[in-house]
A = this chain, B = another copy of it.
Amino acid sequence: MTIDPYSHTPVYVQLADLIRERIESGDLAAGAPVGTELQLSQEHGIGRDAVRMAISLLRSEGLVTTTRPMGTRVREVPQRRQVELRPGATVVARMPSGKERRTMQLDEGVPILEVRNPGGEVEVLPGDEVELTRPER
């Protein structure tokens, strides 16, 4: 698979698709480096901006994290703990605001679960750490 600069899909989306596929297929395991910006730029014959936007997109999907100076690696997804949904509760999923992300120390690309319990109490849960359950009975 190679990147087609003449395609109607943006180059950075194509690169993100390539890397995402390698991650989801297991070719790139958790913790594995996806390559430096320079490497990716040269390997695929595309510009710096495109590489950075591709990486940024994957970060926003929660697939990779970038640290200095180790570069970008496949993100290790934490174990999910089970959270039981109480009767009468409602849940919405959304992305955190910038402030929320910083105060909750969430990686980019991690959604939030907002659980509204009867009585009005609201729980805000990191979406990558929990699995909601409605028990059998």
Contacts and interface: CB of A to CB of B under 8 A. Distances in A.
Interface string A16-29: 11001000100000
Interface residues of A, number: 45
A58 to B, nearest CB: 9
A80 B114 CA distance: 14
Nearest to A92: B131
B92 A61 contact: no
A57 to B, nearest CB: 7
Interface of A: 13, 16-17, 20, 24, 53, 56-57, 60-62, 80, 82, 85-99, 108-113, 118, 127-128, 130-137
Q: What are the 10 A-B residue pairs with the smallest beta carbon separation, nearest first?
A: A111-B111, A93-B127, A60-B60, A91-B132, A61-B95, A93-B93, A85-B134, A88-B136, A93-B111, A90-B133
